C-alpha cells in the first residue's frame, strides 16, 4: 500500500498528532496571530447583539462550570457552550477572514474550541496557536478537495468543513495520538452540516456554533476511546459521497506540512461582500487622486463581472441590503471616504444624501474584467470623465492588510460594539501569544468587565 493510499483520516491524523511546532515557519505563526486578532475583533464587535443574546439565553440554563470566556461578554461558561457562542459571534457580521479558494472563514469554527480548551486546561499560547494552525489546515484542505461543488450544492462550507478543523485542533490540544486524531475526524464527519439557504438568517451561525462545539466533542469522545469507521471521510457511504460525491483526495494530502493553507488567509477591510471591495477601492482612488467632493459628481458607472452584478444590483432599505449593494458601496466611498461598520449600519443607510447618491450610480457588465476586479467611471458636474480600475483590492491575497490595518479594524469593531475597554492589551496579547505561558491573561482582555 502506497502512503497515498492510506485512508485520508489516517494521513490527517498522523499529520495533526505528529506536527512539530519548532518546524512551523515564522510567517505561518504570524499569520495565525493575524487571524486570531481579526477573529477577536469581529467577536467583540457583535457579542452583545440580539442574536448572540438569544443564543446565550437559550443555552444558559444548561451550561456547566464557568471554564471559558465568552468573548465580548461578561459571563464565562463551560468550554462547549463558550465555543458555540464564540463561533456565532465570530462570523455574525460577515467581517471575518476568508480562505478565498474555498470561501471558508477559517477561524470562526476552529479558534473558539482551541481558546476555550486552552483556557480551561491552563495551556500556553504556543500550544493554542499550533492547534489552531493545524485545525485551519485540515479544514481548508478538506474544503479544497470538495470545492467548488460542495458550496454550489448548498453546503455552507465554513460550517460543514469547520467541524473537521475544530476536531483536529481539539484533538491536538488534548494530546491525542495519530489514531485518536483519526477517530476524532471520523466522529466529526457524522456531525458535519450547515446550509447556504440559511445564510440570510442567524441560523447560519447556529451551524457554525455547532461545528465549533461538535468538533471539540468529537475530540473529547475520541480521547475517551469512542470510535469511528476508518473511511468516514472518503468511504462509499462517507462524508464526501453523501455531500455530493466529487472530491479530489490529493488536495487533502499533497504537501501536508509543507504548503500551508493559512498563509493564504485574507481579512476584509470593509464589512461587505468581498466582490464589492474592488468597487470601493476604485472609488476611494478616484476621490483621493482628484480631490473629489461628492457634489462634484454627476454620475457613476461601475463595471464588473456577472457575479458582481448579480449580487449587487438590488434596492437598499437597510444594513443587510447595503452590504450587498454596488450603489451603496460607491456612495459611501465618495461621500465619506471610508466604508467601515458605521457606513453600513441601519442608522446611516437611509440618510438623504446616500439615497440621492445611490440613484446616480449604475452598474454594467464588462466581461473583459477578471473576477474580483472592478472599473469605476464617473462624470463630474464640470464635464470631466474619470476612471479607475482595481484588480486586487485591499485585503486580497495580492494586497494583504498590514498588521496595523488589522489593528485599526479591531478598534473600529470595538467602537461598533460599544466595547468599554482599551483594545491595547488585547492586541498586544495576541501578538505576544506565542510566548505566553498561559493564555488566561489574553482571554481576560476579551471579557467584558473582567473581575
- Which residues lie near its own copies (CB under 8 A)? 50-51, 53-55, 57-59, 61-65, 67, 78-81, 153-156, 159, 183, 186-187, 189-204, 206-207, 210, 214, 217-218, 220-221, 223-229, 231-232, 235-239, 241-243, 245
Minimum separation from the CB atom of position 166 to its own copies (A): 13
Least Cβ distance, residue 303 to its own copies (angstroms): 28
Q: Which three cell numbers stand for residue 190?
A: 457524522
Q: Grid cell 464557568 — which residue?
A: 66
Residue with smaller CB distance to its own copies, 209 or 340: 209
The residues near 260 (Cβ < 8 Å, ≥ 6 apart) are 25, 28, 133, 137
Q: CB 449 → its own copies: shortest distance, Å?
A: 23
Minimum Å distance from CB 144 to its own copies?
Answer: 19
**Cα gap 172→178, rounded to integer Å:** 9
**Contact assessment for residue 39 and residue 90, using Cβ atoms and an 8 Å cutoff:** yes
Grid cell 493545524 is found at 134
Output 182 or 334, the one with its CB closest to its own copies: 182
Residues 6+ positions from 299 with CB-CB distance below 8 Å: 360, 361, 362, 378, 379
Residue that has been written with the C-alpha cell 467611471 in this structure: 377
CB nearer its own copies, residue 186 or residue 417: 186
Least distance to its own copies from the beta carbon of 156, Å?
7
Comparing CB distances to its own copies, the nearer of 214 and 445 is 214
Residue among 186 and 271 whose Cβ is closer to its own copies: 186
Task: Return the number of the residue (37 or 184) whose C-beta is nearest its own copies.
Answer: 184
Distance between CA atoms of 169 and 191, rounded to whole angstroms? 16
Give buried/exposed letters for 411-448 (b at 16+ CB in 10 A, else e).
bbbbebbebeeebeebbebbeebbebeebeebbebbbb
Question: In terms of CB distance, is 231 or 354 closer to its own copies?
Answer: 231
**Alpha-carbon span 214 to 80, nearest angstrom:** 8
- Cβ 190 to its own copies shortest distance, Å: 4
- The rounded distance, in Å, linking the Cα atoms of 296 and 383 is 10
Least distance in angstroms from the C-beta of 8 to its own copies: 12
Give CA angle at 153 (36, 188), nearest 5°.
50
Q: Is the CB of 72 or the CB of 235 nearer to its own copies?
A: 235
Cis peptide preceding 55, ω within 30 of 0? no
End-to-end CA distance of the chain: 57
Q: How far is the CB of 62 from its own copies (least distance, A)?
A: 4
Cβ proximity to its own copies: between 85 and 448 the closer is 85
Minimum distance, C-beta of residue 58 to its own copies, in the bound complex (Å): 4
Looking up cell 462509499, which residue turns up?
236
Amino acid at each position: 500500500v502506497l502512503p497515498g493510499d492510506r485512508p485520508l483520516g489516517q494521513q490527517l491524523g498522523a499529520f495533526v498528532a505528529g506536527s512539530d511546532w519548532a518546524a512551523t515557519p515564522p510567517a505561518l505563526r504570524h499569520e495565525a496571530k493575524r487571524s486570531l486578532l481579526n477573529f477577536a475583533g469581529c467577536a467583540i464587535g457583535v457579542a452583545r447583539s440580539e442574536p448572540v443574546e438569544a443564543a446565550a439565553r437559550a443555552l444558559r440554563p444548561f451550561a456547566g462550570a464557568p471554564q471559558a470566556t465568552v468573548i465580548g461578554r461578561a459571563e464565562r461558561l463551560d468550554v462547549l457552550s463558550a465555543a458555540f457562542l464564540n463561533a456565532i459571534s465570530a462570523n455574525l457580521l460577515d467581517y471575518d477572514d476568508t480562505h478565498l479558494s474555498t470561501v471558508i472563514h477559517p477561524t470562526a469554527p476552529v479558534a473558539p474550541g482551541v481558546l476555550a480548551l486552552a483556557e480551561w486546561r491552563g495551556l500556553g499560547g504556543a500550544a493554542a496557536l499550533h492547534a489552531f494552525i493545524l485545525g485551519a489546515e485540515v479544514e481548508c484542505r478538506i474544503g479544497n478537495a470538495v470545492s467548488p461543488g460542495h458550496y454550489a450544492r448548498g453546503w455552507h462550507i465554513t460550517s460543514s468543513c469547520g467541524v473537521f478543523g475544530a476536531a483536529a485542533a481539539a484533538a491536538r490540544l488534548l494530546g491525542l495520538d495519530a489514531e485518536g486524531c483519526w477517530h476524532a475526524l471520523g466522529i466529526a464527519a457524522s456531525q458535519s452540516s450547515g446550509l447556504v439557504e440559511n445564510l440570510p438568517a442567524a441560523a447560519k451561525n447556529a451551524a457554525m456554533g455547532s461545528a465549533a462545539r461538535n468538533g471539540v466533542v468529537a475530540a473529547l469522545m475520541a480521547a475517551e476511546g469512542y470510535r469511528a469507521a476508518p473511511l468516514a471521510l472518503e468511504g462509499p457511504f462517507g462524508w464526501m459521497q453523501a455531500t455530493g460525491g466529487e472530491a479530489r483526495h490529493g488536495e487533502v494530502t499533497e504537501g501536508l506540512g509543507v504548503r500551508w493553507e493559512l498563509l493564504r488567509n485574507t481579512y476584509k477591510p470593509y464589512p461587505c461582500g468581498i466582490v464589492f471591495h474592488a468597487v470601493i477601492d476604485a472609488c476611494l482612488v478616484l476621490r483621493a487622486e482628484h480631490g473629489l467632493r461628492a457634489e462634484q459628481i454627476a454620475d457613476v458607472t461601475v463595471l464588473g463581472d456577472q457575479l458582481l452584478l448579480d449580487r449587487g444590483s438590488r434596492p437598499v432599505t437597510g444594513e443587510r441590503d447595503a452590504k450587498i449593494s454596488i450603489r451603496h458601496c460607491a456612495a459611501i466611498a465618495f461621500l465619506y471616504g471610508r466604508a467601515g461598520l458605521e457606513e453600513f449600519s441601519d442608522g446611516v443607510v437611509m440618510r438623504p444624501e446616500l439615497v440621492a447618491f445611490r440613484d446616480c450610480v449604475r452598474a454594467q457588465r464588462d466581461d473583459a474584467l477578471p473576477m474580483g476586479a472592478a472599473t469605476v467611471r464617473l462624470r463630474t458636474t464640470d464635464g470631466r470623465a474619470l476612471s479607475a480600475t482595481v484588480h486586487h483590492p485591499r485585503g486580497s491575497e495580492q494586497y494583504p492588510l498590514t498588521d496595523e490595518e488589522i489593528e485599526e479594524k479591531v478598534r473600529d469593531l470595538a467602537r461598533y460594539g460599544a466595547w468599554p475597554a482599551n483594545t491595547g492589551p488585547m492586541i498586544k496579547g495576541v501578538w505576544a501569544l506565542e510566548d505566553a505561558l498561559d493564555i488566561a491573561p489574553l482571554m481576560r482582555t476579551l471579557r467584558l468587565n473582567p473581575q
